A = this chain, B = another copy of it.
Amino acid sequence: MDLRFTAEENAFRERMRDFFTTQIPADIREQVQRGEHVSRDQQVAAQRIMNAHGLAVPHWPAEWGGQDWTPVQLYIYQDEMQQNCVPAPLGFNANMVGPVIAQFGSDAQKKQFLPATANLDIWWCQGFSEPGAGSDLASLRTTAVRDGDHYVVNGQKTWTTLAQYADWIFCLARTDPGAAKKQQGISFILIDMQTPGITVRPIQTLDGGVEVNEVWFDDVRVPVENLVGEENRGWDYAKFLLGNERTGIARVGVSKARIRRIKQLAALEHVGDRAMIEEPHFREKLAAVEVELKALEMTQLRVVADERKRDRALPNPASSILKIKGSELQQATTELLMDVVGPYILPYDDHEHGSNEPPVGPEYAAEAAPTYFNWRKISIYGGSNEIQRNIVAKAILGF
């Protein structure tokens, strides 16, 4: 047992840090640091730089742009990306549909989609959730009925993140309504968002932004060659996809970056005569989160190390722990940020609707409350923390 990083691993970290801090435009990283959403153009720009350096999809098969990295290297890559406020390659592309196509897609699909997906020439969104389904994903009701060499898709998806930016959507749709179990008879289908019959309606979230949407399919005709893998086996591909994000989910680097920022701002904010960072109570609150975060980082490294011994096709229930604790700590940092900002969390900066006035109060104040509001979602989406607890209870504790 040697819990330190090797010299090679430390050198790799230096290389990553150097790349992220010198190659990704500072304005993009600063915007992420402030807690603001990046624009579509910024997301595309950052990912293309990474892709040009072979760093957008390092976990993909080598022939499609992957690097042959160890789990520890992948971890370091992700950690440095997060700590340096670099927007991660679009998850729907890099972690979701890309690996599914690489694993289960036809050769034609791989050629058509993988390079464009890695380079964010295609912006993907995910059509899994449906109204009323929530965590019971398999109860989906969207149908795809075969009609000649097309599927005709009808139904409604919801919580479709950034559908307003998307070129394509990957969907689960029911192709065999008579299947014995609800998990059967579902297919995994790729759909061009330009196809007639698709309607996108934005849903405004608590922070005032639009990140998610409802998407309707009204007799949408999709060529059968857009089916991934076999018909009626979509549930298997979806499980593969959902198990893919195992360790980065804790987002320790994101929390570290935010704590660093909180400490910087707390040196500027004063309570009475004293800088906030000098307040023992506040320092102890911060330290308590730092302790849990260090523990989570070590937990994550243990899971990463364990990955070498696991069948990568099987989900790792330990990732549920990373999700539970990681989301709690990310949420805790958003509250600490509000502590620092103090009364100036109150004004609502309506920049989404074109307000161009300077912020009320310090410039760092405007995103504090929206970030807190928005980040309540991270213990809900991707399998709520309640679902994660059910998974741990069953898969680890044996209930």
When distances are taken between beta carbons in the complex, the residues of chain B under 8 Å from A284 are 281
Complex alpha-carbon distance, A42 and B284, angstroms: 46
Band of interface residues on A: under 10
- Point out the residues of chain B lying under 8 angstroms from A280, CB to CB: 280-281
A284 to B281, CA, bound (A): 9
Q: How distant is the Cα of A281 from the Cα of B280 in the complex, in angstroms?
A: 8
Which residues of the partner chain B approach A281 to less than 8 Å between Cβ atoms? 280-281, 284
Q: Mark A268-296, 1 if CB is under 8 A from B, else 0.
A: 00000000000011001000000000000
Query: Measured between alpha carbons, how far is A284 from B284 in the docked complex, in Å?
Result: 12
Q: How far is the CB of A361 from chain B (nearest CB, A)?
A: 27
A80 to B280, CA, bound (A): 38
How many angstroms from the CA of A280 to the CA of B280 in the assembled complex? 8
Determine chain A's interface SS by DSSP, over half rule: helix
> How far is it, in angstroms, between the C-alpha of A148 and the C-alpha of B80 when the chains are bound?
86
Smallest Cβ-Cβ distance to A284: which chain B residue: B281
Minimum Cβ distance to chain B for residue A306 (Å): 34
Which residues in chain A, 55-108, are within 8 Å of chain B measured between CB atoms?
Answer: none
The smallest C-beta distance from A274 to any residue of chain B, in angstroms, reads: 13
CA distance A280 to B281 in the complex (A): 8
CA distance A281 to B284 in the complex (A): 9
What 1/0 mask marks residues of chain A from 281 to 320 whose CB sits below 8 Å from any chain B CB? 1001000000000000000000000000000000000000
Kindly provide the distance from the CB of A127 to the nearest chain B CB, expressed in whole angstroms: 34
Q: Find the B residue at minimum CB distance from A279.
A: B280
Shortest Cβ distance from residue A288 to the other chain B in the assembled complex, whole angstroms: 11
Q: Say how far A180's CB is from chain B's closest CB, in angstroms.
A: 33
Q: Report the minimum CB–CB distance from A126 to chain B (whole Å).
A: 34
In the complex, chain A residues 219-257 whose Cβ is within 8 Å of any chain B Cβ: none
CA distance A280 to B284 in the complex (A): 12
Bound complex: CA A281 to CA B288 (Å): 13
CA–CA, A280 to B282, complex, Å? 12
Cα-based distance from A157 to B83 in the complex (angstroms): 61
Interface residues in A173-199 (C-beta closer than 8 Å to B) = none
How far is B329's CA from A274's CA once the two chains are assembled, in angstroms?
34
- Least CB distance from A271 to B in Å reads 13
Min distance, Cβ A300 to any Cβ of chain B, angstroms: 30
The distance from the CB of A207 to the nearest CB of chain B, in whole angstroms, is 30
Query: Shortest beta-carbon distance, A314 to chain B, in Å?
Result: 35
Minimum distance in angstroms from A280 CB to a CB of chain B:
6
Return A63 CB to nearest CB of chain B, in Å.
Answer: 55
CB distance from A295 to the nearest CB of B (A): 22
In whole angstroms, what is the CA distance A280 to B285 when docked?
13
Question: Complex formed: what's the CA distance from A369 to B280 in Å?
Answer: 28
Q: How far is the CA of A198 from the CA of B281 in the complex (A)?
A: 58
**CB proximity of A338 to chain B, nearest CB, Å:** 19
Q: Please report the C-alpha to C-alpha distance between residue A363 and residue B280 in the assembled complex, in whole angstroms.
A: 32
Distance A280 CA – B283 CA, assembled complex (angstroms): 13
Interface string of A109-136 (1 = CB under 8 A from B): 0000000000000000000000000000
Roughly how many angstroms separate A352 CA and B280 CA in the complex, as a whole number?
43
Instruction: State the Cβ distance, A178 to closest chain B Cβ, in Å.
Output: 36
What distance in Å separates the Cβ of A277 from its nearest Cβ neighbour in chain B?
A: 16
Q: Tell me the A residues contacting B by CB distance below 8 Å.
A: 280-281, 284
4 interchain residue pairs of minimum CB distance:
A280-B280, A281-B284, A280-B281, A281-B281
Q: List 4 A-B contacts (CB under 8 A).
A: A280-B280, A280-B281, A281-B281, A281-B284
